[in-house]
Amino acid sequence: MKNSVFQERQEECKRLFEMRYGSIGVDIHYHPITSVAVTPDNKYIISGSEDKSIRIWNNADKTLLHCIKQAHSELITSVAVTSDNKFIISGSIDKTIGVWSITDKELIHRFRGEHSRPITSVAVTNDSKYIITGSEDRTIGVWNLADMKFLHRFEGAHSDTIRSVAVTSDSKYIITGSEGEF
């Protein structure tokens, strides 16, 4: 009985969400979506997937505008968008970070070599100056977006895989989540 009540509530929540916010309602990737982001101006939805692609959607009518196929050599784990609406940042199991032009839909830069294990999460500071990455190697990376250079690695912040990274709106603090700990 509990499962049926739970399933009914789950379906009810899904219906309420779709009525309120809309739903794309089509198969949008060939494999599961692993991460989504919305541009700060609310014009675009960005999705990253296990199919290694990044897709850019019109948020108003939910139409596909562009697909960046083979954005990475392995599945994409995380996507983020800069606050100036210029760049999509993607992280991947392939241990690289992609910086993509939203306007040109092209790769601007690929960071590699600083994480020894897959990247699990990416975030961007509110001023669009820095990319923050978390990894299965239990480190946090800081990358300068203007100079396209690696700046710093924080080691020992967690004893296990870093699953999620975020930055406070004033860009003073990096918040990370790991296997059961902040």
Rounded to the nearest 10°, the torsion over CA 37, 55, 161, 74 is -170
The CATH fold assigned to 27-178 is Methylamine Dehydrogenase; Chain H (2.130.10)
pLDDT tens for each residue of 15-42: 544 544 445 554 466 788 899 999 999 9
Tell me how far apart the alpha carbons of residues 82 and 87 are, in angstroms, rounded to a whole number: 5
The secondary structure of residue 82, as a DSSP letter, is -
pLDDT tens for each residue of 118-139: 999 999 999 999 999 999 999 9
**Predicted pLDDT at 157:** 77
Confidence (pTM): 0.83
Tell me how far apart the alpha carbons of residues 52 and 141 are, in angstroms, rounded to a whole number: 22
